[in-house]
Amino acid sequence: VDQTGIKVQLSSYRRSIDNIDAALVHILAERFRCTSQVGELKARHRLPSVDKDREAGQFNRLKSLALEAGLDQVFIENLMRFIIDEVVRRHDDIAAVSGKSAASEKGSIA
Amino acid sequence: VDQTGIKVQLSSYRRSIDNIDAALVHILAERFRCTSQVGELKARHRLPSVDKDREAGQFNRLKSLALEAGLDQVFIENLMRFIIDEVVRRHDDIAAVSGKSAASEKGSIA
């Protein structure tokens, strides 16, 4: 294979990777839409932003899905930790805003 | 909304999140299949595992996709950094194995 052949092959793989990344961004956007709704539901009913049992269940399920798909389980665990930490941060933001508006509705300045 | 209503609503959101996560795992598995092929091509032709220009292009594109999809750009940047670091680690592993087998084909013990 000459240099041009390598470049053609490489840019073909990269087109696939770019398509997959666009899909990843959109699927993550949808995931955050769902988790925002969870965050709003939790804030409205003053439920805690973290649910350790739910998380443990998610991690176990994801690790078995990763195994099945031939993905490194530790990698998926770390990646999901990263995503879930962002979700919890957003839940706390939603709860803070919701708490403030609830407080202001009651005329509180606290 | 009573406690049962909240639970029903929450578990409906969670079913969507679980479906999305299964999709994420499978799409990531496909992404690593593509990047492994890139890793093998690079190792075969002794190309460096990191390509800073390619990475810069990927990050710019992803940030504009994130903006369009209503996702936090810093979050996507950090998430992709995490995934790409894993890819580079794998490329280095492939290159190391390939280097060893190339060496052993030549009868080298180095």
pLDDT in tens, A52-108: 999 999 999 999 999 999 999 999 999 999 999 999 888 988 999 887 755 444 433
**Degrees (nearest 5) of the Cα angle B4, B8, B9?**
115
B56 touches chain A (CB under 8 A): no
Q: What interhelical angle do B3-44 and A73-105 show, nearest 10?
A: 140
pLDDT at residue number B101: 56
CB contact under 8 A, A14 and B79: no
Label residue B49 by pLDDT band (50, 70, 90): confident
pLDDT in tens, B53-75: 999 999 999 999 999 999 999 99
Q: How many CB atoms lie within 10 A of CB B93?
A: 14
Residues of A in contact with B62 (CB under 8 A): 21, 25
| CA–CA gap between residue B41 and residue A10 (Å, rounded) | 8
The average pLDDT across B22-37 equals 96
B50 touches chain A (CB under 8 A): no
8 A C-beta contact, residue A83 and residue A89: no
Secondary structure (DSSP) of B18-74: HHHHHHHHHHHHHHHHHHHHHHHHHHHTT--S--HHHHHHHHHHHHHHHHHHT--HH
8 A C-beta contact, residue A17 and residue B32: no
B53 touches chain A (CB under 8 A): no
The beta-carbon neighbor of B20 closest among A27, A69, A72 is: A27
| CA–CA gap between residue B55 and residue B76 (Å, rounded) | 14
Residues of B in contact with A14 (CB under 8 A): 38, 54
End-to-end CA distance of chain A: 70
Residues of B in contact with A43 (CB under 8 A): none
Total-model pTM: 0.85
The average pLDDT across A3-31 equals 95
Size of interface A-B (CB pairs under 8 A): 120
Label residue B1 by pLDDT band (50, 70, 90): low
The beta-carbon neighbor of B61 closest among A18, A20, A62 is: A18
Label residue A109 by pLDDT band (50, 70, 90): very low
Q: Is the pLDDT of residue B12 over 70?
A: yes
Output the average pLDDT for chain B.
Answer: 88
B106 touches chain A (CB under 8 A): no
The fraction of chain B above a pLDDT of 90, given in percent, is 69
pLDDT at residue number A54: 93
Reported ipTM: the value is 0.85
Residues of A in contact with B27 (CB under 8 A): 20, 23-24, 27
| CA–CA gap between residue B25 and residue A63 (Å, rounded) | 9
Residues of B in contact with A75 (CB under 8 A): 86
Name the minimum distance, in Å, from the CA of B38 to any CA of chain A: 7
